[in-house]
A = this chain, B = another copy of it.
Amino acid sequence: MNIGIIGGGAVGLLFAAYYGEQHNVVVYCKRKEQAQKITTEGIKLKYEDNYLVVPVSGKGTMEDLKLQELIIIAVKQHQLESLLPLLRTLPRHIPLLFIQNGMGHVSILQSMLQKSIFVGTIEHGAVRMGDRAVSHNGIGKTNIAVFKGGSTVINTFPLLENPLFPVVFNHDYLEMLEAKLIANAVINPLTTLFRVKNGELITNPSYYEIFKQLYHEILKCFPKWDNHYIDDIIKICVNTSKNTSSMLKDMTEGRKTEIEAILGYIVDKGKKESVDIPVARFVYRAIIGMEIERGIRAK
């Protein structure tokens, strides 16, 4: 199957490596040097002490995107908008998979004319180690759900038979995205504010109080979710205790974080629905303030 992946970040390269083993993969990158390097050297995948090189193509132009049979959009939510005009020109029969964090892109996807649209969430830990190398630090799942096209289109989605990269289907895309959003909204901003690894949020008793405080406040915006979901988020912190969250990594490395897509979405939701969430607003502003302080965001 011809699969196009837009985005040469950690997630894009991880997908390229695992799908590239069984499919014909092209990675579409912003920088032509990266594209060229991927074409000539392939993706280098590191897992524990193993290295694997997977030959895939890189493209610095989006011209032949319309030849793909599935397109995976692996850019951050705040980079999605600039991509939309291009995606709207694609033949309607090409299925798209969006794997952004947050929920902000849901309203965007509703206006797209594509026949089948999937959304996904990713639980892997992955760090880009250069233009063509990615280190797979934590095995998670890739959760996929049908956003548009009816329940049967899920059968058209290419499965992988690799235990290191399991793909799991979900029936309810909204529940799937909300689960990921709530977990991200608690773990990412707090680890960034305190500049700690994920595990510290539950081993430090005072940070853990804060963790619960923020969780219960956020839940006021998601009344369908019950208090027990916190146990799943605690498990994520246990399983990724030594990981640096993606938001803390973005902040430390001077990149714009996904705070708008994650906590910004919830703060907006609170405002629209008149739910008072002062701590969520505080944490949201703290991360924005840190971005301003570091010159990542304009005043």
Q: In the assembled complex, which residues on chain B have CB atoms less than 8 Å from the CB atom of A196?
A: 293
Query: Quick check: B217 and A299 within 8 Å, CB to CB?
Result: no
In whole angstroms, what is the CA distance A205 to B204 when docked?
Answer: 30
Within 8 A of B (CB), among A271-299: 278-279, 281-283, 285-286, 288-290, 292-293, 299
Query: Quick check: B194 and A292 within 8 Å, CB to CB?
Result: no
Instruction: For A281, give the chain B residue with the smallest CB separation.
Output: B213
Query: Quick check: B293 and A194 within 8 Å, CB to CB?
Result: yes
Are A282 and B285 also in contact (CB < 8 A) when A194-B293, A290-B194 are?
Answer: no
Interface residue A155 (Cβ < 8 Å from any Cβ of B): no
Main secondary structure on A side of the interface with B: helix
Interface residue A176 (Cβ < 8 Å from any Cβ of B): no
In whole angstroms, what is the CA distance A213 to B285 when docked?
Answer: 10
Are A286 and B205 also in contact (CB < 8 A) when A213-B278, A281-B213 are?
Answer: no
Query: Quick check: B205 and A292 within 8 Å, CB to CB?
Result: yes
Instruction: For A200, give the chain B residue with the smallest CB separation.
Output: B293
Q: Of residues A209, A289, A292, which shows the largest number of chain B Cβ atoms within 10 Å of its Cβ?
A: A289
Instruction: For A293, give the chain B residue with the smallest CB separation.
Output: B204
As a 0/1 sequence over residues 178 to 213 of chain A, the CB contacts with chain B under 8 angstroms (1 = contact) are 000000000000000110100010001111011001
